Amino acid sequence: MAEELAFDYVIVGAGSGGCVMAYRLIRDGRFSVALVERGRMDDNRWIHIPATYFKAHQSQDIDAVLSEPDETLDGKRFAVPQGNVVGGGSSVNAMIYMRGQARDYDEWDDLHGCAGWRYEDVLPVFMRHERNMHLGAPYHGRDGQLVVADPEYKHPINEIMLDAAQSAGLAWSDDFNGEKQEGAGWYQATAHAGRRQSAATCFLKPVIGHEQLTVMTNAVAGKIRFNGRRAEALEVKRDGREYVLRARREIILTAGSFHSPKLLMLSGVGPAAGLDRHGIQTVHDAPEVGANYHDHVGTPVTYKLKNAKGYHNADKGLAAMRHGIAYFLFKRGLLTSNLLAAGACVDTDGDGRPDVQYNFAPFAPGAPGEGPLPTHSLHLHPLTMRPTSRGRLVLASTNPEDHPAFEAQVLRTGEDLDTLRRGIRFAREICEQPPLKEILGDMIWPGPDISVAIGSNNLDDAIRKQARTAYHPAGTCRMGSDRGAVTDVRLKVNGVDGVRVADCSVMPQLVSGNTNAPTMMIADRGADFVLEDA
């Protein structure tokens, strides 16, 4: 017999969006809230030391979703690791604070009918939840919950890479979230005073002891119960026990681009034909639930170093001891770094708008899904900023613990492949600049046997083998004003009552940059809608 509990709001997913939503609803003071999370609390010590997040990636706090064989990658499966812990991606990501371009949000309105989501609408939301330790108005807030800061450790190899980027013609950027995004510079990060500043730390922890908030970790959401078309409860299983969480007002999905659409489909909201195949009664035929899947895709250009040292073996022996002493006694040094501390946003197609983001770092990633290569090295990682390829996810089974099945199709369009070609060529151009050229040893990838010349077929083959996620899946519960949109512009799920989605799955198209800050913005703005409708 399931235990029944009642709340005003039930939030599914304690990631970046869920932590912000819970904070806003609890701080309002009028409502009781249940926050349901399939992962555990963020007690893993490797989460909170900025430079050790790669160790968290080797724990249960990361859960990789694996695509079906992708013919656009020559049949390779596309792996997309996701946070499986309170704080979600903000607890395991590289902490880069990037909002995207103003035009991204204007296009949400102009191209997708998302009125109220223009840059002028969302900038105040970014500013009010931000506590920036170095920048202020007119683009940054100083009094919010989310701590954002400049890097506390700057590796000398990154300094050289940034100098080379300028030698290759890029302007210097003091703020990728300011008046313009283009240029090369140091990223701001959600890390400060030697600690990760996750959504869990900044938003959830201040309210976690509140009597009106119930946080259920290690809890799997089964399905939403509907009375007609009205959502009334969420079925949850935790530690072998079953619960029914009744929602007097709304159920809010903040479970991300895989699990929010999966829960809708398990609950009868999705493509009717797909639901029928699994014996699920259709509550609302919504063909686009699970569609519009897309992600930033990258191909890191890598070199060995000569007469210079990167991060290799920094976590071993005497080097690890020195870094540990610097960190634990003085909160400084390498362990305060988010490792991906520098980068660039570049217009490679000449349309006046950056279309490739580069992450710079003094280590070389291995093949997709593998760790860093065991050598002193560096990489420049070009990423598609506005991918045009689209995939789709569907139910693999009716077991809520199973991942959805998905067709990634990440290089389906020629535009995305061409963007990566241009990104690789410009990365090579940066590497030809002194003094970076003087410290480079053998090229690891693409390698001396791969031509990067225009028309090179073996470059395309190499890209398909090397292509990997930037951990930014989006779009699978697309927001819009048209009949096919999964949610309306106030994030309510179309065709039913009492359900909203407030995470990166509602993005009609990806922003040009990292998705953690925009996800928190979406949830913060979603909280405005929830409270206005209360």
Residue boundaries of the structural domains of the chain:
152-186+297-384+413-466
Question: What is the rounded distance in angstroms from the CA atom of residue 24 to the CA atom of residue 212?
Answer: 12
Asked if residue 468 lies in contact with residue 438, where contact means CB atoms within 8 angstroms, the answer is no
pLDDT in the model for residue 307: 87
Asked if residue 533 lies in contact with residue 488, where contact means CB atoms within 8 angstroms, the answer is no
pLDDT in the model for residue 351: 95
Question: What is the rounded distance in angstroms from the CA atom of residue 479 to the CA atom of residue 508?
Answer: 6
Catalytic residue (one of 294, 312, 323, 472): 472
Mean pLDDT to the nearest integer, 97-101: 98
pLDDT in the model for residue 84: 97
Reported as a pLDDT band with limits 50, 70 and 90, residue 345 is: very high
pLDDT in the model for residue 453: 80
205-250 pLDDT, tens digit each: 999 999 999 999 999 999 999 999 999 999 999 999 999 999 999 9
The domain made up of 152-186+297-384+413-466 is a member of CATH 1.10.287.70? no
Mean pLDDT to the nearest integer, 55-75: 94
144-200 pLDDT, tens digit each: 999 999 999 999 999 999 999 999 999 999 999 999 999 999 999 999 999 999 999
The structure tokens listed for 265 are: 């489909």
The one-letter amino acid code at 438 reads E
Q: Is the pLDDT of residue 452 over 90?
A: no
Asked if residue 182 lies in contact with residue 128, where contact means CB atoms within 8 angstroms, the answer is no
Position of tokens 């090179």? 456
Average pLDDT value over all residues in the chain? 96
207-216 pLDDT, tens digit each: 999 999 999 9
Rounded percentage of the chain residues whose pLDDT exceeds 70: 100
pLDDT in the model for residue 489: 98
End-to-end C-alpha distance for the chain, whole angstroms: 32
Catalytic annotation on 472? yes
What DSSP line would sit under 229-251, residue for residue?
A: TEEEEEEEEETTEEEEEEEEEEE
User: What are the strands, taking DSSP E only, across 417-476?
Assistant: 440-445, 468-469
Q: Is the pLDDT of residue 86 over 80?
A: yes
Helices (H), 238-316: 256-266, 272-277
- pTM listed for this prediction: 0.97
